C-alpha cells in the first residue's frame, strides 16, 4: 500500500479556544490526525484543568495531560480589545475555531460565530455548550454532571435497587468532543465544494441523549421509562456481569447460537433445550427465572476456568481489568495504549496513546501537551509575522 508522507489533516490550522474537556478532546483528536492545533489560554492561569489534581506530573495535572497532546500553546488575554484583535487575526489565518464560551460572553467579547464568520467567511466555528445556542436553557452553564443527570443517562445507570449513578468518566464531555470532531471533518469536506464556512452548534445534553441509542429509542417506541439494569442489558439476556468462584466475568451472549454453545460448554444442555429460553426474546421475558440459575452456575468455576472454557466454545465474554492489569497486557503494548513522550523539561512521561491506526498515511508522533504560553512567540511570529519589538510590547501590556 502506498503511504502518504503527510498526515490526513496536514495543513489544517485549528484555534482551540476551549477549556476543560469536550473542546480540548476534540482539538486533541484533530491534532492526532495531523492538524496544527493552537491552544489558546488566558495568561496567568490557563485552562482550569491545569490545576485539577492531584495527581500531577511535575507542573502538569493528569487531567490536563489526558486531552491536550499534539498542540502548541499560546496565552492571550481575550478580556482586552487587543487580545480579541489578535484572535481575529489568527482566525483569518485558520481553518477551524473551537470555543465553549457562554453565548452572552462570546457576543460581548466579539467572539460569536456570526462575528468570527465575518472575520473569516471560510472559517469553521465549532461552539460547544451545555445546552446549545437555542431553547430556554441556551445560556445556562453546562457541565458533564448536568448532562448525565438531565439526559436520562444517570437514571439508567447504577444498581437495580439503589440511586442513579454517573458513568465513571465524564462521558458526556467525551462524546461531545468526538461528535465535534466528526462535524468539523464533515464541514472541512463540504467547504471544499461550497467555499464557505460553517457554524457548528453542539451541546452536551444533545450528544448525551443521542448516545443512549437503544435505551432512549426504547422509550420513544413504548412510552415506558426503561428500568435500570445494573450490570445487565435491557434487551439481551444473558449479557451481564456474573460473580465467579474467585472474581467477576461478563457473559456476552449476543445471539441464540451463542446461547446454545454456552449451555453445551457449561454442561447445562437442559437450559439450552428449555422452551422458555430458546430465543433472546424469551430469555428477556423470563430473565427473572433464568438469571438466578446462571448466577449459581457461574459461581461453580474460577474466572480463569471460565475464560478457557468460553474461548474454546467461541462464546463472547469480558474479563474485568483495572488499569494496572490493562496496561500490563501485551494487547496494550501492541496497540500503543501507552506512549512515552518528553515534557518541556526533557523528562519522560507516559501518556494515553491515540487510538488511530490508519494505513496509507503517516500520523504525527505524539507530543507532550504545552506548558502555558509555551509557543506564543513562535506562533505569533509564524502565523502573523510579528517581530520581537511587537511581541515585547504585547507582553509588557499583559496581552500575551
Q: Which residues does the annotation mark as catalytic? A: 173
Distances (CA, A) of 126 to 133, 168, 273, 369: 12, 27, 55, 21
CB proximity list for 375: less than 8 A, separation 6 or greater = 38, 72, 73, 74
- Rounded CA-CA distance 280/259 in Å is 9
Phi/psi for 183 (5° steps) reads: -65, -40
CB proximity list for 184: less than 8 A, separation 6 or greater = 26, 30, 96, 124, 126, 200
Q: Rg of the chain's alpha carbons, rounded to an integer?
A: 25
DSSP assigned state of 50 = G
Instruction: Please check whether residue 196 is in contact with residue 121, taking contact to mean a CB–CB distance below 8 angstroms.
Output: yes
What's the first-to-final CA gap in the chain, in angstroms?
46
Per-residue DSSP letters for 298-332?
Answer: HTTS-HHHHHHHHHHHT--EEE---HHHHHHSHHH
Angle between helices 388-396 and 376-384 (to 10 degrees): 130
Nine-digit cell string for 312:
474454546
Query: Which neighbouring-strand residues pair with 15?
Result: 38, 97
- Rounded CA-CA distance 44/41 in Å is 9
Nine-digit cell string for 8:
490526513
Nine-digit cell string for 400:
500575551
Neighbours of 51 (CB within 10 A): 12
Q: Specify burial of residue 121 (Cβ count, 10 A radius: 0-12, 13-18, 19+).
A: exposed
Query: Taking the C-alpha atoms of 275, 277, 280 and 283 in order, what is their torsion angle to the nearest 10 degrees?
Result: 130
CB proximity list for 275: less than 8 A, separation 6 or greater = 282
Amino acid at each position: 500500500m502506498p503511504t502518504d508522507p503527510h498526515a490526513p489533516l496536514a495543513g489544517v490550522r485549528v484555534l482551540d479556544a476551549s477549556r476543560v474537556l469536550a473542546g480540548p478532546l476534540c482539538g486533541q483528536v484533530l491534532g492526532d490526525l495531523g492538524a496544527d492545533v493552537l491552544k489558546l489560554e488566558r495568561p496567568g492561569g490557563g485552562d482550569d484543568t491545569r490545576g485539577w489534581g492531584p495527581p500531577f506530573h511535575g507542573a502538569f495535572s493528569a487531567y490536563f495531560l489526558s486531552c491536550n497532546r499534539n498542540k502548541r500553546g499560546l496565552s492571550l488575554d481575550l478580556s482586552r480589545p487587543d487580545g480579541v484583535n489578535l484572535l481575529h487575526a489568527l482566525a483569518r489565518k485558520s481553518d477551524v475555531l473551537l470555543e465553549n464560551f457562554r453565548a452572552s460572553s462570546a457576543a460581548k467579547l466579539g467572539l460569536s460565530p456570526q462575528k468570527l464568520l465575518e472575520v473569516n467567511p471560510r472559517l469553521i466555528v465549532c461552539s460547544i455548550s451545555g445546552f446549545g445556542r437555542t431553547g430556554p436553557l441556551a445560556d445556562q452553564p453546562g457541565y458533564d454532571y448536568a448532562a448525565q443527570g438531565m439526559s436520562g443517562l444517570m437514571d439508567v445507570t447504577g444498581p437495580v435497587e439503589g440511586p442513579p449513578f454517573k458513568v465513571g468518566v465524564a462521558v458526556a464531555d467525551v462524546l461531545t468532543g468526538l461528535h465535534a470532531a466528526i462535524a468539523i471533518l464533515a464541514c472541512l469536506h463540504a467547504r471544499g465544494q461550497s467555499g464557505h464556512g460553517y457554524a457548528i452548534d453542539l451541546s452536551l445534553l444533545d450528544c448525551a441523549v443521542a448516545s443512549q441509542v437503544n435505551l432512549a429509542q426504547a422509550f420513544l417506541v413504548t412510552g415506558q421509562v426503561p428500568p435500570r439494569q445494573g450490570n445487565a442489558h435491557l434487551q439481551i439476556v444473558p449479557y451481564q456481569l456474573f460473580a465467579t468462584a474467585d472474581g467477576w466475568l461478563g457473559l456476552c451472549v449476543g445471539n441464540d447460537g451463542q446461547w446454545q454453545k454456552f449451555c453445551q460448554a457449561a454442561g447445562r444442555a437442559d437450559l439450552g433445550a428449555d422452551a422458555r429460553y430458546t430465543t433472546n426474546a424469551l430469555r428477556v421475558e423470563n430473565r427473572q427465572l433464568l438469571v438466578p440459575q446462571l448466577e449459581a452456575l457461574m459461581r461453580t468455576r474460577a474466572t480463569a476456568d471460565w475464560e478457557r472454557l468460553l474461548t474454546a466454545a467461541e462464546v463472547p465474554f469480558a474479563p474485568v481489568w483495572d488499569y494496572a492489569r490493562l496496561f500490563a497486557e501485551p494487547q496494550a503494548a501492541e496497540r500503543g495504549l501507552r506512549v512515552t513522550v518528553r515534557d518541556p523539561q526533557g523528562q519522560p512521561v507516559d501518556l494515553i496513546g491515540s487510538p488511530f491506526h490508519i494505513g496509507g498515511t503517516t500520523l504525527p508522533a505524539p507530543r507532550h501537551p504545552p506548558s502555558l504560553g509555551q509557543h506564543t512567540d513562535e506562533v505569533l511570529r509564524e502565523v502573523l509575522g510579528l517581530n520581537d519589538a511587537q511581541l515585547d510590547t504585547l507582553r509588557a501590556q499583559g496581552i500575551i
